[in-house]
A and B are shown apart, each in its own frame.
Chain A
Amino acid sequence: MNGLVVRGKTARTILWVLLAAVTLLYGFPFVYLLLTSFKTPLETIAVPATVFGSEFTLENYASALGREGVVASFINSTVTAVLSTVISLVLAVPAAYAITRYRTPGGQVFILVALVCRMVPAIVVGVPLVSLFRDLGIADTSIALAIAHTTLSLPLSIWLMTSFFDAVPDELDEAAKIDGCSRLGALRRVVLPVVSGGVAVTAIFAFLASWNEFLFSLLLTAVRAQTTPIVIANFQTQFGLDWGSMTALAALYSIPVVLLTLVLQRHIVAGLTLGAVKG
């Protein structure tokens, strides 16, 4: 018995150490970025680099926020990410629902094709989109960028929602229909509330895919729809890199997604476990 307790404690200690190591591995770059954003210009470029600065300054934040176009880029990033998330969900939810409920061979092919689309390099889609959006007269708009971002998030959203719907027994739909619901009514009133955690997870993944995306933003935006990742990259020029301002803006840009993740944490865990228990 004592041996079991000791072994349990040892295993727990090892797990905690591993957990701490993994957390450090993931967290250190972000913590270093945060700390650098509060260093003086000379300390941001110190050789060898130091983790902590000798002085605390907000100069980098003032410099970053004072740069032309930063606030507009934040608005653009937010609008684009929200639009892309909405479009992804509006398309992915019914598509995944139909795939899981009708189980037709076409549906199985469709979901495989969706997966293949996810593997296509973004640049392959990006170049034709430049011409397409210009011909449609929507070049350099947030809607065009959101549509482009949806090409990245939609396949993943369909796959995620499919796994969540799969975990919900068909009998729930049948019961809803017996109670007078249409197929869509059953989806909206009964099934969607059950998979709300999954929808939240899918929404977060779609939002993050758009929020962090760089290549399409580079190719498809100019002035009106330019997003913050491009503005952050602009701190690196041919003649140098403004580490302080870049890290300050990157830290600010991280805040919304960190908050979003914290607020929706309960749904994310619930959603992930919902898919995991599928029998």
Chain B
Amino acid sequence: MQHPASQRPSGAAARNTTKTFLSAAAVLSALTLAGCGAGGGGEQSTDDSESLTVLVEAGGKAELTGIAEKFTDETGTQVTFVELPYEGLYNRLNTEFSSGSTSFDVAALDAIWLPTFADAVTPLNDMFTDEVKADLFPALVEEAQVEENFVGMPVWTNSEILFYRTDLFEDPAEQSAFKDEYGYDLAPPTTWEQYQDVAQFFTRDTDGDGQTDLYGTDVKGAVETEWLATVSQSGAENMVLSPEGEVTVNDAEHLAALDFYVGLNNDLKVSPPGAAQIDWAGAQNLFYQGETAMMRFWAHAYPQTPEDSPVAGKIGAAPMIGGPGGVAGVPGPWYLSIPKTTDKQEAANEFLQFAYDNNAMGIDSSLGLAARVSAFEEYEGRPGYEHFDALVETLSAEGTKPRPATENWQEIVDSALIPMLQKALEPGADNQQLLDDAKEQIEAITQ
């Protein structure tokens, strides 16, 4: 038991205690004030009604920066970007939409997220006039519509095209040797068969040490989009899922696509070892190191070859290859959407319209992409934009289709498609069985 006197501070002690707490409070207050004003507060508009906050993935901010600056000049409305990493952006969107209030007025959404967030964003049906739809690639219009509503305005799009090494393809000795061996001219391949021929032709030991050091192509096992493009090239009516939700991943076209895709690695052995773990960055690295002669890759990379790469200045671009169903790619668009919760609907709408009207400005950014056909066509033929012909042709191809509109898409990719591809890259894999298994997994996810 405490003595009463010991619980009661003396006068001097009480003063000291008070001083201590006052000091602590002062320090805390100072730090608090500093904390509230720290960082990039200067970027925000002082008048909140004349500002818009745009949530955007870090890689896409550059696409919108010029447009936003022009928007501010012409309307006086400040645009503040909140830049987040790709994975983080999805989490942030999910959290804010779930909480019922949002800190942003416009968000840049990956196409595959549109079905997930469709109910949380404002329909943009009035913006999608016939004229607008005619100037967008068909797959982009299709992807923008979730059930009856258009929920996002495309701001830029990408697609895989074919990158090839011009120092090899334009070498007269290579051209002659190829013609002797295959009976036709060496050129960027347009069909699966030509792709196999050219890949086999360039797979070789260039320095005579008994080890293959140049491969025809890469095969990516750690990402799914390239195989999905192959599915569309095979002529499949539906990619993985039908619009009614039926899982079609084990049909004949998907099997043909898988056989071709993994056959480059398993049977023809025209790709570097470790295909199951090769992703976008890995494939790009191999190509830039000069270890592959061809690469199917996102078009934006064309002007981004590192200057110290042995293949810098020796890269050509061609449309994506075609299979029995013709040329096809998978579009990779991003859309601008307006959350229903923002009270700046009018200003946000105005920004989206402005971004559409000035879409070509995105081409001058570091990412160098747009969404409107007319924007790409404006730059076609200009030096540095040699890849636009290939990109427009791939995006306009009849076989180019968007990924299925389902909220479960990311789970399907992570749980079923990528593991299936990686197993298919193992020697002796039974592709039909793997697709049947994938079907079961996808049905379990979607039903």
Residue positions of A touching B, CB distance < 8 A: 40-42, 45-47, 69, 72-73, 75-76, 79-80, 82-83, 86-87, 90, 126-128, 130-131, 134, 138-143, 146, 177, 180-185, 188, 218-219, 222-226, 230, 233-241
The answer to the question of B20 belonging to the interface, with a C-beta cut-off of 8 Å to chain A, is yes
The answer to the question of B35 belonging to the interface, with a C-beta cut-off of 8 Å to chain A, is yes
Q: Which A-chain residue is minimally distant from B5 (CB atoms)?
A: A177
The answer to the question of B280 belonging to the interface, with a C-beta cut-off of 8 Å to chain A, is yes
Q: A138 contacts which chain B residues (CB < 8 A)? A: 36
Give the B interface residue count (CB, 8 A). Answer: 68
B273 CB, nearest partner CB in chain A, Å = 11
The answer to the question of B208 belonging to the interface, with a C-beta cut-off of 8 Å to chain A, is no
User: Would you call A183 and B100 a contact (CB within 8 A)?
Assistant: no
User: Would you call A238 and B13 a contact (CB within 8 A)?
Assistant: no
B393 CB, nearest partner CB in chain A, Å = 21
User: Which of B28, B38, B82, B281 contacts A75, CB < 8 Å?
Assistant: B38
User: Would you call B88 and A87 a contact (CB within 8 A)?
Assistant: no
Q: A79 contacts which chain B residues (CB < 8 A)? A: 31, 34-35, 38
The answer to the question of B86 belonging to the interface, with a C-beta cut-off of 8 Å to chain A, is yes
Q: Which B-chain residue is minimally distant from A139 (CB atoms)?
A: B103
Q: Which B-chain residue is minimally distant from A146 (CB atoms)?
A: B35
User: Would you call A73 and B39 a contact (CB within 8 A)?
Assistant: yes
Q: Which B-chain residue is minimally distant from A218 (CB atoms)?
A: B88
The answer to the question of B43 belonging to the interface, with a C-beta cut-off of 8 Å to chain A, is yes
**Considering the complex of A and B, which 9 residue pairs feature the smallest CB-CB distances, nearest first?**
A237-B59, A142-B35, A182-B9, A234-B58, A233-B85, A76-B39, A182-B13, A72-B40, A222-B82
If over half of B's interface residues share one DSSP class (helix, strand or loop), that class is named, otherwise mixed; here it is helix
Given contacts A127-B95, A182-B9, A218-B91, contact A223 B82 (CB under 8 A): yes
User: Would you call A223 and B41 a contact (CB within 8 A)?
Assistant: yes
If over half of A's interface residues share one DSSP class (helix, strand or loop), that class is named, otherwise mixed; here it is helix
Given contacts A141-B35, A230-B85, contact A181 B27 (CB under 8 A): no
Given contacts A82-B31, A223-B43, contact A142 B36 (CB under 8 A): yes
User: Would you call A42 and B281 a contact (CB within 8 A)?
Assistant: no
User: Which of B7, B59, B301 contacts A238, CB < 8 Å?
Assistant: B59
Given contacts A131-B101, A236-B86, A239-B298, contact A41 B308 (CB under 8 A): yes
User: Would you call A46 and B285 a contact (CB within 8 A)?
Assistant: yes
B419 CB, nearest partner CB in chain A, Å = 21
Q: Which B-chain residue is minimally distant from A55 (CB atoms)?
A: B308
Interface centre among A83, A127, A130 (most CB of B within 10 A): A130
User: Would you call A180 and B13 a contact (CB within 8 A)?
Assistant: yes
User: Would you call A141 and B286 a contact (CB within 8 A)?
Assistant: no
Given contacts A224-B41, A240-B280, contact A42 B306 (CB under 8 A): yes
The answer to the question of B158 belonging to the interface, with a C-beta cut-off of 8 Å to chain A, is yes
User: Would you call B28 and A42 a contact (CB within 8 A)?
Assistant: no
B163 CB, nearest partner CB in chain A, Å = 14
Q: Which A-chain residue is minimally distant from B280 (CB atoms)?
A: A240
Q: A134 contacts which chain B residues (CB < 8 A)? A: 99, 101, 103
Interface centre among A139, A219, A241 (most CB of B within 10 A): A219
- 5 more A-B residue pairs beyond the given contacts A42-B306, A42-B309, A223-B39, with a C-beta to C-beta distance below 8 A: A47-B285, A47-B291, A75-B39, A182-B8, A182-B17
Q: A72 contacts which chain B residues (CB < 8 A)? A: 38-40
Q: Which B-chain residue is minimally distant from A74 (CB atoms)?
A: B39
Q: How far is the CA of A142 from the CA of B38 in the complex (A)?
A: 7
Q: A143 contacts which chain B residues (CB < 8 A)? A: 32, 35-36
Q: A140 contacts which chain B residues (CB < 8 A)? A: 103
Given contacts A184-B17, A222-B103, A230-B88, contact A90 B28 (CB under 8 A): yes
The answer to the question of B6 belonging to the interface, with a C-beta cut-off of 8 Å to chain A, is yes
User: Would you call B98 and A127 a contact (CB within 8 A)?
Assistant: yes
Per the 8 Å Cβ criterion, residues 257-309 of B in contact with A are: 280-282, 284-286, 288-289, 291, 298, 300-301, 304, 306, 308-309
Q: How far is the CA of A40 from the CA of B81 in the complex (A)?
A: 30
B56 CB, nearest partner CB in chain A, Å = 10
Q: A82 contacts which chain B residues (CB < 8 A)? A: 31
The answer to the question of B96 belonging to the interface, with a C-beta cut-off of 8 Å to chain A, is yes
Per the 8 Å Cβ criterion, residues 54-77 of B in contact with A are: 57-60
Q: B14 contacts which chain A residues (CB < 8 A)? A: 182
User: Which of B53, B57, B95 contacts A222, CB < 8 Å?
Assistant: B53
User: Would you call B40 and A226 a contact (CB within 8 A)?
Assistant: yes
B305 CB, nearest partner CB in chain A, Å = 10
User: Would you call A233 and B88 a contact (CB within 8 A)?
Assistant: yes
User: Would you call A76 and B288 a contact (CB within 8 A)?
Assistant: no
The answer to the question of B239 belonging to the interface, with a C-beta cut-off of 8 Å to chain A, is no
User: Which of A46, A142, A239 contacts B301, CB < 8 Å?
Assistant: A239
User: Would you call A234 and B31 a contact (CB within 8 A)?
Assistant: no
User: Would you call B281 and A240 a contact (CB within 8 A)?
Assistant: yes
The answer to the question of B44 belonging to the interface, with a C-beta cut-off of 8 Å to chain A, is yes
16 A-B Cβ contacts within 8 A?
A40-B308, A42-B289, A47-B282, A69-B83, A79-B35, A86-B27, A131-B101, A142-B34, A143-B36, A223-B81, A225-B39, A226-B40, A238-B86, A240-B284, A240-B301, A240-B304
User: Would you call B40 and A224 a contact (CB within 8 A)?
Assistant: yes
Q: Which A-chain residue is minimally distant from B7 (CB atoms)?
A: A183
